[in-house]
Amino acid sequence: MTAPGAESPVLIIGTERSGSNLLRLILESHSRITIPHPPHFMRFLAPFARSYGDLADARNRARAVGDALGLLRRHIHPWPHPVRADRIITEPAGPGLFGIVAAIYEQHRVATGKARWGCKSTFMVDHVAEVLRVFPDAQFIWLVRDPCDVASSAKRAVFGPSHPYRMARLWRAQQELAQAALETWGPGVVHLLRYEDLVSRPEEEVGRLCDFLGETPEPAMLKHHTSAAARQTAALAGAWRKAGEPVSTDRIGAGRRGLSTRERLWVDRVTGPVKQSLGYPVDARARTVPAPGPLAVSLRSVWLRARIEYRSFREDDNHRARLRRDAYVRWLRLKALVRVGLRGSVHGTAPASPPGPFPLHLTQRRGKES
């Protein structure tokens, strides 16, 4: 159910550190598409969405809207337009939590005057079926990048697991979900785009992408780096600095420079069959390399994270905003646990199982960090 005056939304799915900021800015430069930087509503709120109760009830919906807008106010990338809570409560874009999220994006679309909104939160790979229930004509761009290059980038970025072995597990799980979506709904709904192809042949790949979306390619899409949105993103964090630069192939093969031989073999050990199916070579030695022990992975992760946070504190303008956001998500989880407990007490039953695992840490379920 696309909102009146709107056309089908566009969602980028896959794994972070795969060029999604580049793709967002390319699409944002189109005169008919707007894709603001994502507050990752579903990533942070979906694990405890059931704690709100039935979101068809306006009171429950109001609580969920309040939490979502609290997350928006603490977003690490300024949201460009104000959002009216009352309109979301009375006119969600569809049922459930995603209906609330879509209504927020729809208000942004209206404010920009564009025809379609998009979402860059690659974690929406977990919610493809949910999106299609609300928007049967939604389209997904599955952006994929060599997992060794993804892991190399993640070792220095504040986003995602810093340890290559953990990053490899996340990459594999998310590509498997995206592949299942492509197989289930077909290439008219899910478009596979390799980062390496996009930066090597930008005009050709942007043309193919526009064909998929039913849009006419525009010259501004290949000049995305000159936009105000690109300059703003590049200035906020070291991990986003490339957003202010033209399309370049210089990050292809980053894993060969940023990972040790053993780390590359770990990545190939974890991702092998999936990586190969997507056209990336796999080192034959990966089959025999032993996996790192859990304690070693944990200790190395702590060390890498400490270095990343120190660098971010010194260099990133949004460092404090990110910490405030993370503290807010912890507070939301605590509130959700209390709501679940109170509901069980009121009805004289054992409390329902608590909301899903806290979404800022690597979990065992599908090896995913949220």
Confidence band of 239 (pLDDT split at 50, 70, 90)? low
Burial of 200 (C-beta count, 10 Å sphere; 0-12/13-18/19+): middle
- Model confidence at 158: pLDDT above 50: yes
Determine the average pLDDT of the residues in 106-128: 96
pLDDT of residue 240: 60
Confidence band of 243 (pLDDT split at 50, 70, 90)? confident
Locate the domains of the chain by residue range.
10-357
Phi, psi values for residue 188, rounded to 5°: -75, -15
Rounded percentage of the chain residues whose pLDDT exceeds 70: 88
Confidence band of 157 (pLDDT split at 50, 70, 90)? confident
Indicate the range of 28-37, 72-81, 193-202, 287-296 predicted with least confidence. 72-81
Give the global pTM.
Answer: 0.89
What is the DSSP-derived secondary structure letter of residue 162? Answer: S
Q: Which helix (H) or strand (E) holds 284?
A: none
pLDDT of residue 6: 66
Confidence band of 360 (pLDDT split at 50, 70, 90)? very low
What are the tens digits of pLDDT across the range 48-80?
Answer: 999 999 999 999 999 999 999 999 999 988 888
Q: How far is Cα 324 from Cα 320, in angstroms, rounded to an integer?
A: 6
pLDDT of residue 365: 36
For all residues of the chain together, what is the average pLDDT?
88
pLDDT of residue 231: 74
pLDDT of residue 244: 72
What burial letters (b/e) apply to 143-179, b meaning 16+ CB within 10 Å?
bbbbbbbbbbbbbbbbbbbbbbbbbbbbbbbbbebbb
Q: What does DSSP say about strands 116-119 and 139-144: parallel, antiparallel, or unpaired?
A: unpaired
pLDDT of residue 236: 65
Phi, psi values for residue 367, rounded to 5°: 60, 35
The class level of CATH for 10-357 reads alpha beta
